[in-house]
Amino acid sequence: MENAEVVAMLGEIADLLELTNENPFKVRAYRRAAQVVDTLPVPISELVHKGELGSLPGVGVHTAERIAQFVESGTCDVLERLRGKVPPGVMELLRIESVGPKTAALVWKELGLTSVDALEEAALSGRLATLPRMGAKRAEAIVSAVARHRSRQGRVPLHRALPYAEDLVARLRAIPGVKQAIAAGSLRRHKETVGDLDLLVSSTDPERVVSAFPKLPGVTTLLAQGPTKSTARLSVGLQVDLRVLPPESFGAALHYFTGSKAHNIALRTRALHRGLKVSEYGVFDAKGRRIAGEREEDVFRAVGLPWIPPELREGLGELEAAEAGRLPTLIEEEDLRGDLHVHSEASADASSSLLELASAARGFGRSYLAITDHSRSRPLGLDEERLREHLDTIRWMDRELRGRPHLLAGIEVDILPDGSLDLGAEVLSELDCVVASVHSRFNMSSEEMTERMVRALRSGLVHVLGHPSGRLIGSRDPYPYDLERVLEVAREEGVALEVNAHPERLDLTDSACQRAKAAGVKLVISSDSHNAQHLDDLRHGVWVARRGWLEAGDVLNTLSLSELRRHFRRSRRVSPSTWTGEGPGLAP
Ligand code: DGT
Ligand code: CA
Ligand code: CA
Ligand code: ZN
């Protein structure tokens, strides 16, 4: 059992409790427990089996019992009892942006709405607007949120799908006679969300694989089955297409099922011009002889091209680039030398100490780490006085660590609605790394939001614009803003844009990375970790960058610390006397 499943269970109980109007203390207890489990560095099932759940701070006896039950049996009594009280359609309402448990409870109790369709109908007919605290404007917002909800339905964020794909692939590899197994499709292209999993197996005994597949753990419903393929649904809702191929076709199938469809069509057209036919079984010449198929790179070679990384296979010019010898040398995780956006326990929503962060970063091979906690307008955020104390601690810890890794003193400073920064220029100009982000008032017009961001970029104090669009995958759309204008100003000011690697943010997106590069703007890939474990999230940002055709040279945190500091010095205009460019103990 994954910790994420326990987190989801606790969250669902909290939602159900709120919907049924139960004691807010209970609700909070479950939410806090969910947070604790989410940042647990070990599998929760281990703690359950050792009887150590009770030692977790923030998890009460009652909650611990529910968790243990859930880990043992896949469900628990409280969850089942509550599910019996709330129609599933009402829970579905919570997946709509701007509808929380309070609103869902209100429309359910007052108007008897138990489905997304009914909610939309009530909003359109004006019935919704008559409810207390509702009004025409909110009803209108709900109508458009429902439309967005529908358009993304069924797609799963990559990071949620990955563990299931990896688990199934490992189990398929263990079936006797299986030579290779791999997850293809959008997952292999590292798209931010996947529609379904496409698993490929190389075996000379397809029957054995196809009959073993439905019995694998987590596979619940068999939807279709043939001699070499199968489609099933997992208990978590994800659909899986399985294909078994003979070894001589495996490379061709891997290419075909990696897609994308647009890439495949472009490649097939190219092959046709050369008198060749490409299918999932191989590349065939005019006489029907197979000239490639066992290895994927041979498929490309057969049509006169070098192997193209899956992230580029979107039919957006990758064949032309390959033909011209101009494929980018895509950035790799190993190219990243540091992380420039990390929260310590000095942020209310984060939990690791400087030392924990430093040792985890060292374990991941990072040579520097910028500690960027929240500024004063966030709950319990740092004001100037507390920031200065925090700075001293960071500098002290940096000296203690002796470069393993280097700690940079930074901040994630709020960009206030008028575009000013949440802390004074003097303290900001002392910092090694200033990330500026929008965290409030998302509902501005595009013009206002663009102006707000431009003003922050023009401050001469900012190194990095954090999570530029504010979107959360599957739950919050980006606020409207003019990316081209922001890029233009960022280039003029020498400010980098962040690829926030938090797997629910991935902000900038792949295509925005490409536009940033075209506009001459540098990027940084940052984890935005709120816990030491999440420092590992950088790989998600690397995938986005690769899909955006970025090379190591486009990304600032591939630089050594001394190069990075030189770059940051050049880009900052405001330098008070205290700013010498070399903080104490921060020798490059
Ligand atoms: P997804 O599942 O929506 O996230 O996206 P994919 O790319 O994984 O798409 P999927 O699962 O429908 O199919 C897997 C691959 O199979 C797809 O990327 C390319 C290939 N494929 C599927 N249908 C077609 C087709 O009609 N023509 C061609 N040329 N290739 C196809
Ligand atoms: Ca797929
Ligand atoms: Ca599929
Ligand atoms: Zn932030």
Give tens-digit pLDDT for 492-522: 999 999 999 999 999 999 999 999 999 999 9
Confidence category of residue 578, pLDDT binned at 50, 70, 90: very low
Q: What is the pLDDT of residue 574?
A: 56
Establish whether residue 260 lines the binding site of ligand 1, counting it when its CB lies within 6 angstroms of any ligand atom. yes
324 Cα: distance to centroid of ligand 4 (angstroms): 40
Closest atom of ligand 1 to 263 CA is 29
Q: Which residue has the higher pLDDT, 152 or 376?
A: 376
The token pair at 186 is 């959008």
Nearest CA to ligand 1 atom 5: 186
- The whole-chain average pLDDT of the chain stands at 93
Confidence category of residue 585, pLDDT binned at 50, 70, 90: very low
Going from the N-terminus, what domains does the chain have, and what CATH number goes with each? 2-151 (1.10.150.110), 156-245 (3.30.460.10), 259-323 (3.30.210.10), 333-573 (3.20.20.140)
Examine the pLDDT at 229 and tell me if it is beyond 60. yes
State the average pLDDT over residues 479-488: 97
How do strand 219-225 and strand 338-342 relate by DSSP bridges? Answer: unpaired
| Whether 331 contacts 513, CB under 8 Å | no
Establish whether residue 185 lines the binding site of ligand 1, counting it when its CB lies within 6 angstroms of any ligand atom. yes
Name 276's Cβ contacts closer than 8 Å, sequence gap at least 6: 283, 284, 285, 286, 291, 302, 303
State the average pLDDT over residues 317-329: 97
| Whether 521 contacts 490, CB under 8 Å | yes
% of the chain at pLDDT higher than 70: 97
479 Cα: distance to centroid of ligand 1 (angstroms): 30
Examine the pLDDT at 418 and tell me if it is beyond 80. yes
Examine the pLDDT at 154 and tell me if it is beyond 80. no
State the average pLDDT over residues 390-414: 97
Pocket test for ligand 1, best of 164, 186, 188 (most atoms within 8 A of CB): 186
Examine the pLDDT at 580 and tell me if it is beyond 80. no
**544 by DSSP, 3-state: which?**
helix
State the average pLDDT over residues 74-88: 90
Examine the pLDDT at 577 and tell me if it is beyond 50. no
With the C-alpha atoms ordered 519, 521, 525, 529, is the resulting torsion angle positive or negative? negative
Establish whether residue 272 lines the binding site of ligand 1, counting it when its CB lies within 6 angstroms of any ligand atom. no
H-helix or E-strand spanning residue 270: helix 261-273
Lowest mean pLDDT among 14-28, 163-177, 182-196, 269-283: 14-28
Pocket test for ligand 1, best of 261, 270, 296 (most atoms within 8 A of CB): 261
User: What does the pLDDT look like over 165-202, one tens digit per residue?
Assistant: 999 999 999 999 999 999 999 999 999 999 999 999 99
Examine the pLDDT at 90 and tell me if it is beyond 70. yes
State the average pLDDT over residues 561-588: 62
Lowest mean pLDDT among 6-10, 233-237, 332-336: 233-237
**232 phi and psi, to 5 degrees?**
-145, 165
78 Cα: distance to centroid of ligand 4 (angstroms): 35
Confidence category of residue 583, pLDDT binned at 50, 70, 90: very low
Calpha distance 249→254 (Å, rounded): 9
State the average pLDDT over residues 82-109: 90
Q: What is the pLDDT of residue 221?
A: 85
Q: What is the pLDDT of residue 98?
A: 82
Establish whether residue 430 lines the binding site of ligand 1, counting it when its CB lies within 6 angstroms of any ligand atom. no
State the average pLDDT over residues 3-7: 86
Establish whether residue 43 lines the binding site of ligand 1, counting it when its CB lies within 6 angstroms of any ligand atom. no
The token pair at 381 is 């955020």
Concatenate the DSSP letters of all residues of 45-69 into one string. Answer: HHHHHHT-GGGSTT--HHHHHHHHH
Q: Which residue has the higher pLDDT, 352 or 4?
A: 352
